[in-house]
Amino acid sequence: MKTRISKYIIPLDNSLKYSKIKYVYCYIVILILTIPLDSFALHLNNVAIDRTMIGVFYCAKPMRTPEQKAKRNIYLKSWRKKNQQKLLIYFQEYRKMHPELKQYYADYHFVVDKYKQRWKSEHNKSYMKEYRKIKREHLRLLKIEWIKKNPEKAKAIELRHRINRHDTKIIADREYRKNNPKKCSEIVCKSKAKNPELYLHIAQQSRLIRRARINGTETEKISILKIYERDCYRCHICLELTNKDNRSIDHLIPVSRNGATTEWNLMLAHLECNRKRGAKNILGLETKESALTYIQQRNELKKLRQINET
């Protein structure tokens, strides 16, 4: 609408498109156009003024470039987020002012519910099942393509799905493993051959947790890879780099002193350094806070050494 009106009033060059001159120009033209209206019919005076105002309003609104439009959209989104409460109140009042909207929304939801019912019907379910069977490969490719285009959305959906299905999935997985032991062992063998390191980590993690459960100390879901990355792949006792063969996980507060098997109480150490230290509490750490500060201090030292070596 905006573009059309300004186009018909005066054809403008591209150079003038976004300049202020255009608005002045438009205003003058509209004034001239409305003068005869005023003179011919005095009672139309108000209408004419309104018209000029509308005309000025439309023309004075700058025509936005795509970049400006995108910028404005971002701004509007953030504004809506900030002023949610304000908008809610506004819409509530608007609905009160226009009671006819109630019927409109009721009709709308009636139609939507009808479609939903049809979508969930037994007939449709069986139809979709067959459709998925026939077009399995096609749908798989489509899904892969979509995930490639929207990686963030796909991640969010997967996370939500996993949280919703967490309890039922454990039971279903257990049953599947019971019913198809051969298939499962084949899958595990294949993935073990692919990432042997990952399985070593998993085995180490479960060993640590099992030991803690036997001793009756505090445990948590831990990730050994996370601990390695946090500790810069260096031993916390001698600060030297570790190898695949001589890595071990050390409890800062020893298990013999009821040390927890949690990420804040575990650090990477050489096997030899770990053995030398044994079960003695040389570090003298007693609480979670002291362990955390120890980790921070050690890791800062490690980073300094890394910089010095390079």
**Number of Cα atoms under 13 Å in the Cβ half of residue 78:** 5
- The token duo for 294 is 């120890």
Q: Could you tell me which stretch among 61-69, 119-127, 193-201, 266-274 binds Zn ion (CB under 5 A)?
A: 266-274
Instruction: Kindly tell me which of 235 and 252 has the beta carbon lying closer to Zn ion.
Output: 235
Per DSSP, the three-state class of 300 is helix
CB 277 within 8 A of CB 255: no
271 binds Zn ion per the rule CB under 5 A = no
267 binds Zn ion per the rule CB under 5 A = no
54 binds Zn ion per the rule CB under 5 A = no
CB of 234 to Zn ion, least distance (A): 8
CB 26 within 8 A of CB 10: yes
Instruction: Kindly tell me which of 224 and 237 has the beta carbon lying closer to Zn ion.
Output: 237
Q: Which residue has the CB atom at the shortest distance from Zn ion?
A: 235
Instruction: Kindly tell me which of 10 and 238 has the beta carbon lying closer to Zn ion.
Output: 238
Among 29, 44, 273, 292, binds Zn ion (CB under 5 A): 273
Among 30, 208, 224, 237, binds Zn ion (CB under 5 A): 237
CB of 300 to Zn ion, least distance (A): 17
Q: Total residues contacting Zn ion (rule CB under 5 A)?
A: 5
CB of 277 to Zn ion, least distance (A): 10
CA dist 150 and 49 (Å) reads: 51
CB of 269 to Zn ion, least distance (A): 6
Instruction: Kindly tell me which of 212 and 269 has the beta carbon lying closer to Zn ion.
Output: 269
Among 270, 291, 295, 302, binds Zn ion (CB under 5 A): 270
CA dist 54 and 26 (Å) reads: 12
Among 41, 238, 301, 304, binds Zn ion (CB under 5 A): 238
178 forms bridges with which residues in the sheet?
none
Virtual torsion, Cα 248, 241, 201, 195, nearest 10 deg: -150
CA dist 251 and 246 (Å) reads: 16
- The token duo for 289 is 């806070």
CA dist 283 and 295 (Å) reads: 11
235 binds Zn ion per the rule CB under 5 A = yes
DSSP E strands, the chain: 247-251, 266-270
User: Rule CB under 5 A: which residues touch Zn ion?
Assistant: 235, 237-238, 270, 273
